[in-house]
């Protein structure tokens, strides 16, 4: 059973146990997926299937969630949660973790960090769950064992005031250290992480750095950093097989391209106040270069036109598609 407890917390329950998920805290370490893939599956809706394992197995998997986004409750059992004492814990080669109702103030009395029942790390990552570069940085930080706070950045260009104030940029990801040092974009972030001791023991991370150091980062005004696949799908748009379909899935904030019941492509978006911001487009590697991305872009833009939505093309693939197809240019929202 899946229910929404409030605007930000979702609950998945059996008769024995309930799993609560708070998306705003989740930075997608995927510890839960690796621990119990039959219960936690990001490609499935709903993505949590509590009855696929025992209550003890679910509790053990949720306990590995580093962000506190996942929690469990035993149903039918009255429990009193003990009050957590203030605590500061040092992590090896990482930041201090502060928990238990502690506030950190600057010299003027401004709150720099407010901790609650979950551990808060002084290392801060300004990121977005829909940005693939952010995902890459989150994965590396998690696998290196470096605790951090993931601060979400809105897709709307006029709502990044905090990021502008802190880092003098509206591009993500941005990593801020406990000392206040800023590393903007994947090149700077990975270069900084390479200097940390844990990196020397992680060949996989060195390989990941090599994969990302030459990644293209947009420096256009108001644009977010995004992947752009090397295969150019813009000029070819063959007819999709009869069994393929493109559907809008509002609950997942994306258009999905499915073939024979299998997800082979998606165009992610955020929608609000008469605007739709396209944040990422991708297709399965086996389908690249066959025009599937172009068909996704066209279908999504046609829907935006039909619904009278202004388009914010944060995804470079969508932006380039609009450049190549000027009939969609009038949809682009003014700055």
Give residue 150's pLDDT: 83
Give residue 227's pLDDT: 32
Taking residues 165-192, report their average pLDDT: 85
| pLDDT tens sequence across 294-319 | 889 999 999 999 999 999 888 878 98
The pLDDT of residue 199 is above 70: no
Domain 123-212: which topology? Glutaredoxin (3.40.30)
Where is average pLDDT lowest: 60-69, 86-95, 313-322?
A: 86-95
- Distance (Å, whole) CA 157 – CA 271: 13
The pLDDT of residue 96 is above 90: no
pTM above 0.75, yes or no: no
Give residue 8's pLDDT: 61
- Distance (Å, whole) CA 250 – CA 116: 32
User: Quick one: which of 53, 48, 49, 55 has its CA closest to 22?
Assistant: 48
Where is average pLDDT lowest: 2-6, 54-58, 230-234, 286-290?
A: 230-234
Where is average pLDDT lowest: 127-131, 229-233, 291-295, 320-324?
A: 229-233
The pLDDT of residue 175 is above 70: yes
Where is average pLDDT lowest: 19-23, 29-33, 55-59, 108-112?
A: 108-112
Where is average pLDDT lowest: 11-25, 157-171, 252-266, 297-311?
A: 157-171
More confident residue, 251 or 327: 327
Which CATH number, 2.70.98.10, 3.90.1150.10, 3.30.420.40, 3.30.70.20, labels domain 2-74? 3.30.70.20
Residues with Cβ within 8 Å of residue 324, at least 6 apart in sequence: 234, 235
| pLDDT tens sequence across 41-64 | 887 888 999 999 999 999 988 888
Sequence ranges of the domains in the chain: 2-74, 123-212, 244-331
Domain 244-331: which topology? Aminopeptidase (3.40.630)
More confident residue, 2 or 137: 137
| pLDDT tens sequence across 131-160 | 777 877 887 787 776 777 888 887 777 777
Where is average pLDDT lowest: 93-102, 179-188, 220-229?
A: 220-229
Where is average pLDDT lowest: 179-183, 195-199, 274-278, 287-291?
A: 195-199
């Amino acid at each position: 059973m899946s229910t929404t407890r409030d605007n930000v917390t979702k609950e998945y329950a059996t008769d024995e146990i309930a799993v609560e998920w708070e998306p705003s805290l989740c930075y997608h370490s995927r510890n839960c997926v690796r621990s119990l893939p039959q219960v936690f599956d990001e490609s499935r809706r709903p993505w949590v299937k509590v009855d696929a394992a025992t209550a003890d197995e679910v509790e053990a998997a949720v306990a590995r969630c580093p962000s506190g986004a996942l929690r469990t409750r035993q149903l039918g059992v009255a429990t009193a949660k003990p009050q957590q004492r203030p605590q500061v814990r040092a992590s090896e080669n990482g930041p201090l973790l502060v928990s238990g109702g502690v506030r950190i103030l600057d010299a003027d009395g401004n709150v720099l960090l407010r901790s609650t029942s979950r551990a808060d790390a002084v290392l801060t990552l300004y990121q977005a769950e829909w940005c693939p570069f952010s995902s890459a940085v989150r994965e590396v930080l998690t696998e290196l064992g470096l605790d951090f706070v993931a601060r979400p950045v809105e897709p709307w260009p006029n709502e990044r005031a905090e990021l502008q104030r802190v880092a003098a940029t509206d591009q993500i990801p941005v990593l801020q250290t406990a000392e206040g040092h800023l590393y903007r974009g994947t090149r700077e972030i990975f270069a900084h992480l390479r200097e940390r001791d844990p990196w020397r023991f992680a060949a996989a991370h060195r390989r990941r750095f090599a994969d990302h150091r030459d990644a293209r980062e947009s420096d256009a005004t108001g644009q977010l950093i995004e992947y752009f696949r090397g295969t150019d799908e813009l000029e070819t748009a063959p007819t999709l097989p009869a069994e393929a379909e493109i559907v809008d899935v509002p609950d997942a904030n994306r258009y999905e391209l499915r073939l024979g019941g299998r997800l082979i492509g998606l165009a992610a978006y955020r929608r609000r106040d008469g605007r739709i911001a396209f944040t990422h487009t991708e297709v399965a590697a086996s389908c690249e270069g066959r025009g599937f991305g172009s068909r996704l872009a066209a279908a999504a833009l046609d829907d935006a036109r039909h619904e009278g939505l202004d388009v914010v093309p944060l995804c470079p693939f969508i932006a380039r598609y609009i450049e190549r197809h000027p009939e969609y240019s009038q949809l682009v929202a003014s700055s």
